[in-house]
Amino acid sequence: MYLEQRRNHILEYLDRHETLSVAWLAGTFAVSKETIRSDLAALAGLGLIQRCHGGAIVLRRNLQARLISETGGNFEVLLQRLESQRLNGQRGKRKTQGRVCILGSFNVDIVAKVARFPRGGESLLALGSTLGPGGKGANQAMAASRTGARVHFVSKVGKDQFSQFAFDHLSASDIHSFKLYQSESEPTGNAIIYVSQQDGENMIAIYSGANQTLTDAEVAEMTHELSGADVLLLQLENNFSATLNAMKLANTLGVRVIMNPAPFSDDVLKCLQYVDVITPNETEASLLSGVEVTDLESAREAAQAIVRQGAKRVIITMSSRGALILDNGQFQHIPAFPALSVDTTGAGDAFNGAFAAALASGQAIAQAATYAAAFASLAVEREGASNMPDHPQVVARLAQR
Ligand code: RIB
């Protein structure tokens, strides 16, 4: 096959698949990876594609892509232009499978399994240790994709050995598409995690690194995927400016926003107006409301206080106590599904990812929260924050109730 022909085929494949790996293209055209890399470099040089970590993604020559370049990187101008486009009814959406866009962290999780948590100043022998993929954003993207949702994930890693690790992890997952940026200055985020064998409870210290360096331009590049999404899901492991911009973009595009305020930061108070559903756990709800959540009654008080601060809908996740919804002045309690808890790390991510996927597929808030509670109950029975169950398992658990 001639070079020109092969390059045209590559473009056709990319149109259909959005992302492809160098290895796949080399196998398909029976040429070396080096040849494919030079094809991609040439196509990128012509501005026809963008490249990312060993693969390629199409540079979409559509209205949004033009808009982004026309606005010269000015985020506020981009929002204004998109708003007028929306008012003119130019936004078309299909409605079959739920589409979820997630902007969030990727971390390398270094996990020590311990008989109990160590005390201050104590050295404790761990029973086992692993190094694996994590980060609330990536875990939530895994969860949503395992339910069958079409997920687009945006994240940022460093220029270190873990960037390839992140790329391989996301490539091997059910996540439909992702964009992984690389920071020049900060390393890939990491988390040091203890998991107690007593009850599967965890303690986590996070160094966010590259996750804190997302730029306005990188957020603006989400516009195309976001414009086709039903839901945008975010957490608080990225620089808040990026999170806030993504919310504003989603609002302008008419995409619902779910904010998982973890790890807690006061910043969340600045964005409640852009959020459709906020999903704190008990600790985050206590910090957000000033009401210590210890039971269902105090959770009700906390949820009301969070609404008074400006939130539209609240779901407080309370592990074994289930979840409490406050929607339009009405409370609804979703009881927890019984589970044999092995590792609670990522339980909140399981809930949020599954909830976003269920909401995106058209389920009502209580139905989506019930689905998410069943999903999370299965997640705590597995080791590893990113190790998520799948849709058939959730269906079986729901049927047990
Ligand atoms: O929610 C669990 C996650 O929190 C871990 O994967 C860790 O990376 C931190 O982001």
153-208 per-position pLDDT tens digit: 999 999 999 999 999 999 999 999 999 999 999 999 999 999 999 988 999 999 99
Residue 60: what pLDDT? 38
pLDDT score of 62 more than 70: no
Q: How confident is the model at residue 65 (pLDDT cuts 50, 70, 90)?
A: low
Tokens 């620089």 found at: 239
- The alpha carbon of 236 and the centre of ligand 1 are apart by a number of angstroms equal to 11
Give the list of residues 6+ apart from residue 97 with CB closer than 8 angstroms, or none: 148, 149, 150, 361
- The atom of ligand 1 lying closest to the CA of 138 is 6
* pLDDT for position 33: 86
Q: List, as own/partner pairs, every contact residues 60-66 make where C-beta atoms lie below 8 angstroms and the sequence separation is at least 24, other chains included.
A: 60/224, 62/224, 63/90, 64/223, 64/224, 64/227, 65/224
Using a 6 Å cutoff on CB, does residue 111 contact ligand 1? no
**Mean pLDDT for the chain?**
90
> Is the overall model pTM greater than 0.75, yes or no?
yes
Identify which of 195, 211, 349 to mutate to test ligand 1's pocket (most ligand atoms within 8 A of the CB).
349
Cα-to-centroid distance, 375 and ligand 1 (Å):
17
Å from CA of 135 to ligand 1 middle: 4
Any idea which of 17-26, 33-42, 264-273 has the lowest mean pLDDT? 17-26
Mutate-to-test residue for ligand 1 from 204, 260, 279, highest number of ligand atoms within 8 A of CB: 204
Structure confidence at residue 63 (pLDDT): 47
Tens digit of pLDDT for each residue in 255-294? 999 999 999 999 999 999 999 999 999 999 999 999 999 9
Q: Render pLDDT for 286-330 as a digit per residue (tens, 0 to 9).
A: 999 999 999 999 999 999 999 999 999 999 999 999 999 999 999
Measured distance CA(258)–CA(279) in Å, rounded: 7
Q: What is the DSSP letter of 330?
A: E
The C-alpha torsion from 380 through 386 and 391 to 394, rounded to 10°, is 10
Instruction: Tell me if 349 CB under 6 Å of ligand 1.
Output: yes
Note the pLDDT tens digit of each residue in 220-243. Answer: 999 999 999 999 999 999 999 999
The Å distance, Cα 66 to ligand 1 centre, comes to: 36
* CA–centroid distance, residue 92 to ligand 1 (Å): 35
In 18-53, alpha helices (H): 22-29, 33-45
Give the orientation angle of helix 22-29 with respect to helix 3-17, to 10 degrees.
130
* Residue in the block written with tokens 């595009």: 253
Which member of 109, 343, 349, 390 is catalytic?
Answer: 349
Question: Which ligand 1 atom is nearest residue 107's CA?
Answer: 8
User: What is the per-residue pLDDT for 93?
Assistant: 40
Q: Is the per-residue pLDDT at 132 higher than 90?
A: yes
